[in-house]
């Protein structure tokens, strides 16, 4: 079976399990959520980079309830600007081909500002703030100070509760960069710019946590899960993770897309985002913790125990 995919500059390539060729072709536009295989649900994963770089990737995962099959239908890598169109324009060009028939859109970065940056109250500072998320941060910080030194306070205008929570409350310490930290802030701005034009449900995914939870459920070695994005050994780690997904029949992925994801971590993480969005659809992600502020963002985290059969 063959399949077509777009490269980042808009060229379309012919997909084959053996050989990759480049041919220009007219993009076919899906026009319905019903196919000859029955109902289909689509989940888009977007791995973002800076707006002027060429690293952004999109993965589209399709789920067919009739046959209980998950399928990576499309992978677009290295989406970049040209002399006429921005990379963001090209991202929407891809998305719009599905005529809003997308179930969930998953970002790998925050797409909303920390709550404090939008607050219109007269600010007393974190020491006297009555907002639920600041109170939660204080409670969390005081508990942490009893166990750990040095004792540092939070910055509610750059941090979110979720970033504090995952650093200590999961089975492994996961360090998420602050939503308005120096590295993530430009990506947050781009994600906000993209999200404002979307009409579908949007979620945030942390690829590192999703890779860990998904990989552990597939018995992948911890070393591969910890170092999947490393420059030296990351390609081998991604190979092992994708092999585990394939051997357990979690998702059908073309050989050429496997090769691309082994070579390109952004493409791999776009796929992981889309797969996590699918898990949310199947109620296989963690709910908000008890007492977690309702006005705070939460990320989709796969459950610790995942059953990969009987979708």
Domain membership flag for residue 240: yes
Helix, strand, or coil here: 61? strand
Backbone angles phi, psi at 6, to 5 degrees: -95, 140
Identify the CATH number of the domain in which residue 88 sits: 3.30.420
Looking at the DSSP assignment, which residues form a beta bridge with residue 12? 6
- 3-state SS, 177-241, equals CCCCCCCCHHHHHHHHHHHCCCCCEEEECCHHHHHHHHHHHCCCCHHHHHCCCCCCCHHHHHHHH
Write the CB contacts of 38 (distance below 8 Å, at least 6 apart in sequence): 64, 65, 66, 67
Over residues 134-151, mean pLDDT = 88
Domain membership flag for residue 106: yes
Share of the chain above pLDDT 70, in %: 88
Residues spanned by the domain of 132: 115-157
Over residues 159-163, mean pLDDT = 97
Give yes or no: residues 194 and 231 share one domain: yes
Pairing of strands 38-39, 34-35: antiparallel
Helix, strand, or coil here: 243? helix
Q: Contact, 261 vs 267, CB < 8 A?
A: yes
Q: Cα separation of 207 and 116, whole Å?
A: 26
Predicted local confidence at residue 12, as pLDDT: 42
Predicted local confidence at residue 8, as pLDDT: 46
Give yes or no: residues 17 and 36 share one domain: yes
- Counted residue by residue, the chain has a size of 311
Domain membership flag for residue 170: no
The first and second tokens of residue 146, run together, are 């009893």
Give yes or no: residues 131 and 37 share one domain: no
32 sits in the region (left: phi over 0; alpha: psi -120 to 50; else beta) called beta
Domain membership flag for residue 38: yes
Give yes or no: residues 99 and 185 share one domain: yes
The first and second tokens of residue 10, run together, are 């808009």
Instruction: Locate all alpha helices (DSSP H) within the chain, ordered by sequence.
Output: 87-95, 132-145, 161-165, 185-195, 207-217, 222-226, 234-247, 255-263, 265-281
Domain count, the chain: 2
Domain membership flag for residue 288: no
Choose among 38, 17, 73, 95: nearest CA to 278.
73
Total Cβ atoms within 10 A of residue 122: 5
Predicted local confidence at residue 152, as pLDDT: 86
Domain membership flag for residue 307: no
Domain membership flag for residue 147: yes
Give yes or no: residues 73 and 209 share one domain: yes
Query: Residue with structure tokens 């929570």?
Result: 165
Q: What's the pLDDT band for 23 if we cut at 50, 70, 90?
A: very low
User: For residue 11, how many C-alpha atoms fall within 13 Å in the half-sphere facing its CB?
Assistant: 10
Q: What's the pLDDT band for 151 if we cut at 50, 70, 90?
A: confident
Q: Cα separation of 41 and 70, whole Å?
A: 10
Over residues 199-216, mean pLDDT = 97
Give yes or no: residues 88 and 141 share one domain: no
Give yes or no: residues 192 and 71 share one domain: yes
Give yes or no: residues 61 and 206 share one domain: yes
Reply yes or no on whether the pLDDT at 216 is more than 70. Answer: yes
Reply yes or no on whether the pLDDT at 32 is more than 80. Answer: no
Q: Contact, 139 vs 165, CB < 8 A?
A: no
Give yes or no: residues 145 and 197 share one domain: no
Give yes or no: residues 129 and 270 share one domain: no
Predicted local confidence at residue 311, as pLDDT: 75
Over residues 41-59, mean pLDDT = 90
Calculate Rg over the CA atoms of the chain.
20
Predicted local confidence at residue 51, as pLDDT: 66
Give yes or no: residues 225 and 107 share one domain: yes
Give yes or no: residues 189 and 273 share one domain: yes
Q: What's the pLDDT band for 260 if we cut at 50, 70, 90?
A: very high
Predicted local confidence at residue 29, as pLDDT: 43
Domain membership flag for residue 73: yes
180 sits in the region (left: phi over 0; alpha: psi -120 to 50; else beta) called alpha
């Amino acid at each position: 079976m063959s399949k077509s995919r777009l490269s980042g500059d808009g060229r379309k390539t012919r997909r084959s399990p053996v050989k990759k060729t480049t041919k220009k072709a007219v993009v076919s536009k899906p026009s319905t959520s019903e196919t000859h295989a029955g109902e289909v649900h689509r989940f888009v994963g977007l791995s973002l980079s800076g707006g002027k770089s060429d690293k952004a990737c999109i993965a589209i995962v399709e789920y067919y309830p009739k046959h209980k099959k998950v399928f990576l239908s499309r992978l677009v890598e290295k989406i970049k600007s040209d002399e006429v169109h921005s990379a963001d324009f090209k991202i929407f060009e891809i998305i719009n081909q599905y005529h809003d028939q997308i179930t969930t859109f998953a970002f790998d970065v925050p797409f909303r500002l920390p709550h404090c940056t939008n607050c219109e109250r007269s600010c007393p500072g974190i020491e006297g703030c009555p907002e639920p998320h600041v109170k939660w941060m204080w409670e969390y910080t005081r508990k942490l100070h009893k166990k750990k030194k040095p004792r540092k306070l939070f910055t509610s205008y750059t941090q979110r509760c979720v970033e504090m929570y995952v650093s200590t409350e999961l089975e492994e310490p996961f360090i998420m960069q602050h939503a308005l930290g120096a590295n993530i802030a430009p990506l947050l701005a781009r994600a906000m710019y993209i999200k404002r034009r979307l009409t579908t449900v949007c979620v945030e995914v942390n690829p590192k946590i999703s890779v860990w939870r998904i990989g552990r459920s597939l018995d992948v070695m911890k070393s591969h899960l910890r170092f999947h994005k490393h420059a030296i050994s990351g390609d081998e780690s991604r190979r092992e993770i994708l092999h585990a997904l394939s051997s357990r029949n979690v998702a059908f992925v073309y050989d050429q897309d496997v090769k691309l994801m082994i070579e390109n971590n952004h493409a791999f993480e776009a796929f992981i985002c889309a797969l996590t969005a699918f898990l949310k659809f199947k109620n296989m992600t963690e709910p908000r913790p008890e007492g977690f502020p309702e006005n705070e963002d939460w990320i989709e985290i796969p459950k610790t125990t995942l059953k990969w059969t009987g979708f």
